[in-house]
A and B are shown apart, each in its own frame.
Chain A
Amino acid sequence: MGSGELRDNQDTDTAIEVAHATVRFATDQGDITALKDVSVEIGVGQFVTIIGPSGCGKSTLLRLIADLLEPVSGSVSVFGAPPSQARRARQLGFVFQDAALLPWRTAIKNVELPLEVGGRTSRDRPTRDPAELLDLVGLAGRHQAYPQELSGGMRQRVSIARALVTQPQVLLMDEPFGALDAITRNRLNVELLNIWAEIGTTIVFVTHSIDEAVFLGQRVIVMSTNPGSVHTEIDVPIEYPRAPDLREEPGFVAIAAQVRKGLETA
């Protein structure tokens, strides 16, 4: 496919820029600093994975970009504008950890949800055909199934289709495959890369699996805890398409080891 080189040329355009962002939560025990002075830059069309120990604020960072949280200091911008603007313009897609499907809606109806809400401004924006998207994520034949009739992997596929229906320029994924078994997870990793190759959207993917982080990303951001901050960034100079047996190759193993060391010192 050679999409790897193509994307490298586009790195000059910035999709997401987080600059010196600090996030605090008020709790009963006092304020907790979830993120401290975090700076991240992600280019248009890049696939970046974020990894770190629990409590390092990787989900917080994702929510900052999605306009679900605001920093107390520092700034966040998506395509040069505040995240709230990107959110209202339907440039953001979010995939949650537990799929967050509505159980009273069939798979296809769940995918259609973003087209039914969000006011008039968003309705004029280009959208994708929900049925086509369900086929793309491998759910042809299960369009009319209710979420409780689908396996965990299938539900997460529906939730990916739902995030893609508004044609977002940025796809934010919060440990989407964390609750799945290893076989399903590896298969979905390959399929996610195929989808990325086809739609070319910027993807920020949070995970706690080293293997997944290296397999998917062009770059792995390693975060450390107390307070949450960026520890190191590790490039993954492996070409796409990436096949599952890549995991046994020395180049992959070496990078995975590098990420693991990063996590140990985080």
Chain B
Amino acid sequence: MKPVTTLSETGPPRRPPRKPWHNYLRTAFWVILGFVITIAAWQAIITIRDVPNYVVPPPGDVWESLNNDFDTLWRNTKPTAIESIGGFLIGSGGAIVLAIVFVHSRILRRMFLPVVIVIRTIPVVAIAPVLVLMLGNGLAPKLVIAALISFFPTLVNMVEGLESVNSQSLELFRVLSANRWEVFWKLRIYKSLPFLFASLKIASTASVIGAVVAEWIGSDKGLGALIILSTFNFRTSLLYATMVFASILALVLFASVALLERLVVRWQPE
């Protein structure tokens, strides 16, 4: 009466079949067109309104600066990247650990979640000088600020994700006599991953903001320092080129997290 099992390993593909390549081309076309129109509008406004170059540089000047000052830009990108990535890892890592603690101890959560939320309401630009005073001009205050800014979204989302288990799943694990450890590793962790990645994407770009802001306050290197330097020297083209680099750094971090998510979360969350 049992069916034959020869077909048992031939499951369907996990994901829908890949889109044909010309679909990607079509998408790329519209994206590029969007950028082209934006840059054209930028040039047009400068020409029509006769905006001086030291106030808003034309796109061509920024392009020139990107080429001519590439070494300067690249040299200053490295410390900012180290601060952002380091801060991001420390902040998110700490947030994940604290979220796990909060989920397992209601008392600790009731005591310290309000403290965390109050600290969160202080703007980073207000905390940054305090930290520079405390920790000096080195790597430490930048790491701490980037970590702080990554910390909050990850903590809040991770707690929510770990608690997003429905009552039927919990009942299932109870019928199976699973202990807390098993409920955590076989259920809560997986439930939290989509939430975690959503917040990691936010945190990854926010950590770049944190590092740049920290560099404004006290640093002689990094993209933040370069922004201050080029502003005071009226090198507006370099300022814009620096912003382009900061934006690319944030995009690279974001894309890395998104790629990791695709590798880890291979199922469709309900």
Contact = CB atoms under 8 A, between A and B. Distances in A.
Interface of A: 63, 66-68, 87-88, 90, 92-94, 96-98, 100, 102-104, 106, 113-114, 116-119, 122, 131-132, 134-136, 138, 140-146, 148-149, 194, 198
B130 to A, nearest CB: 43
26 contacts: A66-B175, A67-B175, A87-B174, A87-B175, A87-B177, A88-B177, A92-B175, A94-B171, A96-B168, A100-B169, A103-B267, A104-B267, A106-B11, A114-B176, A117-B173, A117-B178, A117-B182, A135-B3, A136-B2, A140-B4, A141-B10, A143-B9, A145-B11, A145-B12, A146-B267, A194-B1
Nearest to A84: B177
Q: Which residue, B14, B174, B177, has most C-beta atoms of chain A within 10 A?
A: B177
Contacts of B190: 102, 104
A103 B7 CA distance: 22
A88 B177 CA distance: 6
B176 A113 contact: yes
A68 B8 contact: no
B171 A118 contact: no
Given A113-B186, A117-B182, A140 B8 contact: yes
B5 to A, nearest CB: 5
B187 interface: yes
B179 to A, nearest CB: 7
B269 interface: yes
Top 9 closest pairs, chain A to chain B, by CB:
A144-B11, A141-B7, A117-B178, A118-B177, A140-B3, A117-B182, A100-B168, A104-B267, A94-B175
A198 B1 CA distance: 10
Contacts of B7: 140-141
A148 B87 CA distance: 37
Given A102-B190, A103-B270, A113-B186, A149 B12 contact: yes
A67 B173 CA distance: 12
B93 to A, nearest CB: 22
A236 B9 CA distance: 41
A117 B176 CA distance: 7
Contacts of B2: 132, 135-136
Interface of B: 1-5, 7-12, 14, 168-169, 171-179, 182, 186-187, 190, 265-270
B9 to A, nearest CB: 7
Given A135-B5, A145-B12, A68 B171 contact: yes
Contact of A68 (B10, B175, B182, B187): B175
Contact of A138 (B3, B11, B14, B270): B3
Nearest to A172: B175
A148 B268 contact: yes
A146 B190 CA distance: 15
A27 to B, nearest CB: 15
Contacts of A97: 168
Contacts of B173: 117
Nearest to A99: B168
A122 B176 CA distance: 9
Nearest to B182: A117
Contacts of B14: 146, 149
A117 B179 CA distance: 8
Given A102-B186, A142-B11, 16 more contacts: A67-B174, A68-B174, A87-B177, A92-B175, A93-B175, A94-B175, A98-B168, A103-B268, A104-B266, A104-B267, A113-B186, A116-B186, A117-B178, A132-B2, A141-B11, A143-B11
Contacts of B178: 117-118
Nearest to B189: A104
Contacts of B179: 117, 119
